[in-house]
């Protein structure tokens, strides 16, 4: 399973940045709606969007709880 592991980060192994392991986002209509174009036409744009969404440090555990109960 791909993840942000300390061992991978120490070795600069970041497969997500090459689009590896993002298939669930490619199939997510909500994620795709936030793109400014087609994933296949500009995969780097899609990866940058994923980084922006995935690494949002403003998201808290309370946000997750709110989403679960929405």
Mean pLDDT by 10 residues, the chain (70 residues): 70 82 91 92 92 81 84
Task: State residue 47's pLDDT score.
Answer: 93
Q: Is residue 5 part of a domain?
A: no
Token pair, residue 58, equals 């403003």
Total count of domains within the chain: 1
Q: Is residue 1 part of a domain?
A: no
Q: Is residue 56 part of a domain?
A: yes
Q: Is residue 59 part of a domain?
A: yes
Q: Is residue 60 part of a domain?
A: yes
- Per the rule left: phi > 0, alpha: psi between -120 and 50, beta: everything else, 37 is left
**pTM for the whole thing?**
0.61
Q: Is residue 3 part of a domain?
A: no
Structural domain of residue 23, as residue ranges? 19-68
Task: State residue 33's pLDDT score.
Answer: 93
Q: Which of 39, 68, 34 is nearest to 53 (CA)?
A: 34
């Amino acid at each position: 399973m791909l993840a942000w592991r300390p061992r991978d980060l120490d070795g600069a192994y970041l497969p997500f940045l090459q689009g590896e392991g993002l298939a669930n986002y490619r199939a997510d209509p909500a994620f795709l709606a936030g793109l400014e174009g087609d994933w296949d036409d500009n995969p780097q744009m899609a990866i940058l969007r994923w980084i922006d969404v995935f690494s949002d440090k403003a998201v808290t555990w309370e946000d997750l709880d709110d989403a679960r109960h929405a």
